[in-house]
Structure 1
Amino acid sequence: MRLTTKGRFAVTAMIDLALREQAGPVTLAAISQRQHISLSYLEQLFGKLRRQELVESTRGPGGGYTLGKKAVDISVADIILAVDEPLDATHCGGKENCQGDGDGPCMTHDLWAALNAKMVEFLQSVSLKKLVDDQVAKGVVVEHKPMIKRAISSTPVVKPIRVTGPNSVFDLGKVLSKS
């Protein structure tokens, strides 16, 4: 089995999100900046994660993503499978037509099928919570910036000057002719 960048990036982004969601929704732009993952790629991944209800989105100012379930209830296998990452070491996709000529499975089919089962079993046993705890134990510092709120400016608002006089040359002529 070969885990592609799609699966790796999805797991990395989910760890980043889980580390920081206590301060409110986390933006994909912030994850993109911290993890050096393309924002458009994250948008694609999070669309798939949202469809599988692993994340929830909040729109508007102060919006972003939060986990759709508790971190302890999300396994690495859930994340990888949500982004359509294949977990298959066989060359036939489990169809037992490895040789391509209809003669059935190749001689090593059972070996690779057993490896698939062990990989899925292992990835299901690792929770997102465990990965977050591992990062905290390694000393990863999580900045808890307060949500940005619109502050009231200390500078007074300058109101436009109301002109009560004539606003054109013609109006000025009318005013002057009356006086």
Structure 2
Amino acid sequence: MLSKKVFHAVNALVVMACLPAGNTITTAELASQVGLSVSYVESLLKALREHGFVRATRGPGGGYDLAMSAQRMSVWSVVDALDPYPQTPALEGDAQIDLEQALGQSIERELKAFLSNTFIADYANEDSALSLPRKAKVWDFGFKPMVQPWRPEAPNSVFQLSQFVVKPVAKPAAAWRV
């Protein structure tokens, strides 16, 4: 049957097909969407890029998107590219027909026919239940606004500790009554 690698690759392609037109998704975002590690998703995306399914954009605002329309991308093309399905040898007419071999060829034909007529777009739509993060607006000159770093409000040394001691706020006497 289908390997986990192919299953995860198809899931990643469906997530990318759900993106609004012109948007990209980073490896980390994609990994969180499909529930895999970032390193494994990177290896999947490398294989998908080498076979022409996705393209990468470098730099700020970059990421991955589909290299072709999801309506043209069959599931069988992904299976054939990432995990070539072993072909059983053809049956010879004079040889004794092995039931297992005949059944295997029949299953292969049906699987190939079904997956050849099943496209990534069949499982992807922009209104899907996938919670895709919205990207920050990219400025005209190609850079995203920088996120301000979080800095804790704490003393820089032990000598400044007395300046940062939080004094409890006294509650009115009426608040203490039970």
TM-score w.r.t. the length of structure 1 is: 0.67
1:6-62 Cα shifts (integer Å, max 9, x gaps): 111001111111112525221111010122111111111111111111111111111
Identity %: 26
Could you say which residue in structure 1 is the equivalent of 2:75? 76
Could you say which residue in structure 1 is the equivalent of 2:46? 47
User: The residue matched to 1:122 in structure 2 has which SS?
Assistant: helix
User: The residue matched to 1:32 in structure 2 has which SS?
Assistant: helix
Match of 1:150 among 145, 153, 165: 145
User: The residue matched to 1:57 in structure 2 has which SS?
Assistant: strand
Could you say which residue in structure 2 is the equivalent of 1:112? 104
Alignment of 1:131-142 (within 5 A): 131-133=123-125, 136=127, 139-142=129-132
Could you say which residue in structure 1 is the equivalent of 2:89? 95
Distance 1:152 1:130 in 2: 37
Could you say which residue in structure 2 is the equivalent of 1:158? none
Distance 1:40 1:147 in 2: 27
User: The residue matched to 2:55 in structure 1 has which SS?
Assistant: strand
Distance 1:15 1:66 in 2: 11
1:41-93 Cα shifts (integer Å, max 9, x gaps): 11111111111111111111111111110110001111222222x435xxxx4
User: The residue matched to 2:15 in structure 1 has which SS?
Assistant: helix
User: The residue matched to 2:99 in structure 1 has which SS?
Assistant: coil
Q: 2:8 aligned with 1:9, yes or no? A: yes
Match of 2:119 among 86, 102, 127: 127
Gaps of 5+ in 1: 98-102, 154-179
Bigger radius of gyration: 1
Contact 2:74 2:115 survives alignment (8 Å):
yes
Distance 1:16 1:77 in 2: 18
Gaps of 5+ in 2: 139-143, 149-178
Greater helix fraction, Structure 1 or Structure 2: 1
1:80-129 Cα shifts (integer Å, max 9, x gaps): 22222x435xxxx41369xxxxx987332122111101101101111111
Distance 2:64 2:104 in 1: 37
Distance 2:4 2:147 in 1: 44
Summarize the Cα distance change of 1:38–1:117 in structure 2 as closer, same or farther, 3 Å threshold: same
Instruction: Letter of the 1:87 partner, please give it.
Output: Y
User: The residue matched to 1:70 in structure 2 has which SS?
Assistant: coil
Instruction: Letter of the 1:40 partner, please give it.
Output: S
